[in-house]
């Protein structure tokens, strides 16, 4: 095999490799697009989902406030300074905390 034939064969191999690289790049591009679409889909939520979450938050916050008010009425501090300790009389910090809701 002479030099020209070997160069032609080498050129054909190189062309084949370039075609394979191009095909792999296109596949990688499609996979990246699909991955991005799936990420957006995972992170998306409907207005109904948002409304349900907000309703649950309000319910939980209401229950938390009720529980703290009950603790205070039962004679315990709910302020951060003396939380859970028995109290004698009213506590301005606790009362301020309850009023902040």
Q: Provide the token pair at 3.
A: 């030099």
Dump pLDDT digits (tens) for 22-79.
999 999 999 999 999 999 888 787 888 888 888 888 888 888 888 889 999 999 999 8
pLDDT of residue 70: 92
Say what the pTM is. 0.46
Do you know the residue count of the chain? 101
Q: Return the number of other C-beta atoms located less than 10 Å from residue 94's C-beta.
A: 22
pLDDT of residue 13: 95
Q: What is the mean pLDDT of residues 10-25?
A: 96
pLDDT of residue 101: 67
Sorted by sequence, the CB contacts under 8 Å of residue 76 that are 6+ apart come out as: 84, 85, 86, 87
């Amino acid at each position: 095999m002479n030099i020209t034939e070997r160069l032609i064969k080498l050129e054909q191999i190189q062309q084949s490799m370039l075609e394979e690289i191009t095909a792999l790049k296109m596949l990688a591009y499609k996979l990246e697009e699909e991955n991005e679409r799936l990420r957006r889909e995972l992170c998306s939520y409907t207005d109904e989902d948002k409304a349900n979450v907000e309703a649950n938050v309000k319910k939980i916050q209401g229950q938390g406030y009720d529980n703290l008010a009950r603790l205070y009425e039962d004679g315990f501090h709910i302020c951060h300074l003396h939380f859970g300790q028995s109290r004698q009389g009213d506590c301005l910090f606790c009362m301020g905390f309850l009023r902040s809701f």
